[in-house]
Amino acid sequence: MLNSKRITETYDMKVFTDHGEYFGDIEECVMTINKTFGWRVKATRGSGLARLLGSAKGVIVPHQLVKAIGDVFIINKAAIPSFGESEEKEEMAAQPSEETI
């Protein structure tokens, strides 16, 4: 049997990746005329999303990456924003090292 939820019941629900990492909380549902497009997830204190984004408020996760909705949201790990190796190296190069300070 398929259980359904009202969209308002999902607000402030915890979001976890399929690897068990806490990702953030649901803030809003992004809808088109007749279907769910995605979910706005806010970066909360202690979430993996807050560590990745720093001062950004959150991200929009496409509905295709949502695996399950129940007591919590389960999303695919592919929804996590990641930096390529070259971007990480550029960021590290741009930050002053402790030796130069």
pLDDT digits (tens, 9 = 90+) for 7-53: 888 899 999 999 898 989 999 999 988 888 999 999 888 787 778 77
46 domain residue, yes or no = yes
Containing domain of residue 44, as a range?
Answer: 7-96
Q: Looking at residue 25, which CATH number applies to its domain?
A: 2.30.30.240
2 domain residue, yes or no = no
Q: Taking a C-beta distance cutoff of 8 angstroms, is the pair 12, 26 a contact? A: yes
CA-to-CA dists, residue 61 to 13, 24, 93, angstroms: 14, 11, 30
Considering its fold, how many domains does the chain have in total?
Answer: 1
pLDDT at residue 3 greater than cutoff 70: yes
101 domain residue, yes or no = no
1 domain residue, yes or no = no
pLDDT at 82: 67
